[in-house]
Amino acid sequence: MLRNMATSLLVHERIRTTEAKAKELRPVVEKLISLGRVDDVHSRRMARRMIEDRVALQKLFDDVGPRFRERPGGYTRILKLGTRKGDGAEVAIIELTD
């Protein structure tokens, strides 16, 4: 599940999910973006372990990684939206910062 969510976040740069899932996803995506900052074979292979989609991997190393090259961390933000009507789960948006 985290692989799919990380892939979706990298492709769309913003996803809506539950707050608990967003909090679990944050460290996974932060590590992937740290790998994307350095474009070498080792980093690509380490990121390929987690991301199977070639489009998302290409975007990580061509767009997202260079955008955060000078930033030391804190690549994502979680915005709380409140509770979901159906089951009362806390809903949040996780997005890449600019």
pLDDT tops 90 at residue 41: yes
Instruction: Please give the model's pTM, rounded to 2 decimal places.
Output: 0.92
pLDDT tops 90 at residue 71: yes
pLDDT tops 90 at residue 98: no
Q: How far apart are the first and last CA of the chain?
A: 25
**Domains and their CATH numbers in the chain:** 2-96 (3.90.1030.10)
10 contacts: CB under 8 Å, gap ≥ 6: 29, 32, 51, 56, 59, 60, 64
Both tokens of 33, joined, read 């973006």
Q: Tell me how far apart the alpha carbons of residues 9 and 40 are, in angstroms, rounded to a whole number.
A: 22
